[in-house]
Amino acid sequence: MDFNEGEIIYIDKPLHWTSFDVVKRIRLRILRRIKQKKLKVGHAGTLDPLATGVMIICTGRATKRIEEFQYQTKEYIATLRLGATTPSFDLETEIDGVYPHEHITRESVERTLPRFVGSIMQIPPSYSACKVDGRRAYDMARKGQAVDLKPKELVIDEIELLSCELPEIKIRVVCSKGTYIRALARDIGEALGSGAHLVGLIRTRVGDVTLADCLSVEQIADMIDHIDVEPVLEEEKKE
């Protein structure tokens, strides 16, 4: 493998890891293997710490393809709990609101989900990487500061109800770049006359890359340690 020329690695991101954690671990492993001090390594789309699934890592000159991957369609499996909200709309924060949900039925869920298919406007969560006056929204939110985020246009291609065991529902979502599934959970809860937050999220596909194509961080690390690598020329080390 030639990590400087560019390699593309498919990883199943572990639960509780940040996307930066994954990139850092892979970069350090590669640098140790190829005996270099620097190497460009980046990912093509952030996953929240409480999400798992497909994450594309690019190295060296392949980092030029990151934007290409970011714009590809993504698929998620999301588990929503109805009747309660959290500030982050997932389990990162404690429940801050409880709402009635006894009126919600499978039929009402099935009627509601199609409303979100197509081109929609979505307000990102306060706990997000969006920037407000140069500052990350999540930094402001975690300090208890007000965050004013503008709606963004995105596209939801498909929403499928996979299971309905109220107050939890599981859905499959196919969507465009920039979609916050946590915000979608919030909006679905409101549309059902209640509240909702995520209790599970898996990214199952990015473009044509599926979970079946991905390896664990440990498997990738072992592969890096044992695979043949291209020798680095002295002039390349100086770049």
Positions annotated as catalytic residues are 48
CB atoms within 10 A of CB 200: 17
- Assigned token pair, 116: 């979100």
> Per-residue DSSP letters for 151-180?
-EEEEEEEEEEEEEETTEEEEEEEE-TT--
- Assigned token pair, 83: 């009747």
> Per-residue DSSP letters for 59-107?
EGGGGGGHHHHHTS-EEEEEEEEETEE-TTSSTTS---EE---TT--HH
CB atoms within 10 A of CB 115: 13
- Long-range Cβ contacts of 141-147 (<8 Å, 24+ apart): 141/87, 141/88
Amino acid at 130: C
Measured CA to CA, the distance from residue 35 to residue 25 in angstroms comes to: 15
Measured CA to CA, the distance from residue 186 to residue 124 in angstroms comes to: 10
